[in-house]
Amino acid sequence: MNALEILKKTPKTNCGKCGYPACMAFAVAVVSSGEDLAKCPHIEAEDTGAQVEQVRDPDTMLLKTLKNKVGTIDLAERAQMLGGRMVKEQGSAMLELSYLGEQVLISEKAIITASGTEPDPRDQILLYNYLFFGGKGDLSGKWVGLESFPNSISKVVTLKRYTEDKLAREFEGRKDELERQLVAMKAEKAPECHADLCMIVPVLPKVPVLINFWDADEEDGFAASVKVLFDENAMEFLDIESLIFAAERLAEKACGQ
């Protein structure tokens, strides 16, 4: 079975009992990383022994699956919920969103940037996840660390290594350069700041990320450090892996990668 066939076996209720936030994510994990089909208690027992078609490139497989799903949703409705807007390009209705300071257009066929190029597949997967998550409310305006979210203990280490430590190392002694890079992503200074630099980066319209930067203090022997915060309601707009990836992409872009 491939991912779509597995998805069809699930009730598509996104109940989370398998440990994944959505049936789609579970189906892709089964084919891409050998997740056990029996983890979904709703799949018939005779199906759980079925042959699963493993794929070598999970990103490509996932992207294909996600693309096929766009036609099943109302883009105009999502545009309102996700802070985007509908535009017409070459006769087709597309959802326009801002992603890390750049406009991207999402249609039933593809995701393209305003300059007409296809974003990196990993960015496309993030954008599709944002689209399908749908957004279930408003931002709270209250900032919290990743550790405040459920099941985040092991993920805090990933955020520290690939985002916080990366930014701290790259911009030690270069606070103004960090500010310049973040402003290029349409970041604004946070109204309250208890660090040397506090910038709110609108990674996606409903996924702002607050970067707190403390520069090195040679006198006291402290190296530069960074703490990333998310809106308390961020998980209404993205799953935890996607939130971490969003922060990682922010760091990579700031570092010119």
Residue 161: CB atoms within 10 A of its CB come to 11
Joined tokens for residue 136? 């279930």
Question: How far apart (Å, rounded) are the C-alpha atoms in residues 236 and 82?
Answer: 11
User: Taking CB under 6 A as the rule, does residue 136 contact ligand SF4?
Assistant: no
Q: Which pairs from 140-144 meet CB under 8 Å and 24+ separation?
A: 140/231, 140/232, 140/233, 141/231, 142/231, 142/232, 143/210, 143/229, 143/230, 143/231, 143/232, 144/229, 144/230, 144/231, 144/232
Task: State the minimum distance, in angstroms, from the CB of residue 246 to ligand SF4.
Answer: 22
User: Taking CB under 6 A as the rule, does residue 26 contact ligand SF4?
Assistant: yes
Report the amino acid identity of residue 170: E
With CB under 6 A as the contact rule, which of the stretches 8-16, 117-125, 152-160, 178-186 interacts with ligand SF4? 8-16
Question: How far apart (Å, rounded) are the C-alpha atoms in residues 116 and 170?
Answer: 31
User: Taking CB under 6 A as the rule, does residue 65 contact ligand SF4?
Assistant: no
User: Taking CB under 6 A as the rule, does residue 23 contact ligand SF4?
Assistant: yes
Is the Cβ of residue 23 or residue 197 nearer to ligand SF4 in the bound state? 23
Task: State the minimum distance, in angstroms, from the CB of residue 216 to ligand SF4.
Answer: 45
Question: How far apart (Å, rounded) are the C-alpha atoms in residues 212 and 190?
Answer: 9
Residue of 8, 16, 57, 136 interacting with ligand SF4 (CB under 6 A): 16
User: Taking CB under 6 A as the rule, does residue 20 contact ligand SF4?
Assistant: yes
Is the Cβ of residue 3 or residue 178 nearer to ligand SF4 in the bound state? 3
Residues that bind ligand SF4 (CB under 6 A): 10-11, 13-18, 20, 23, 26, 40, 42
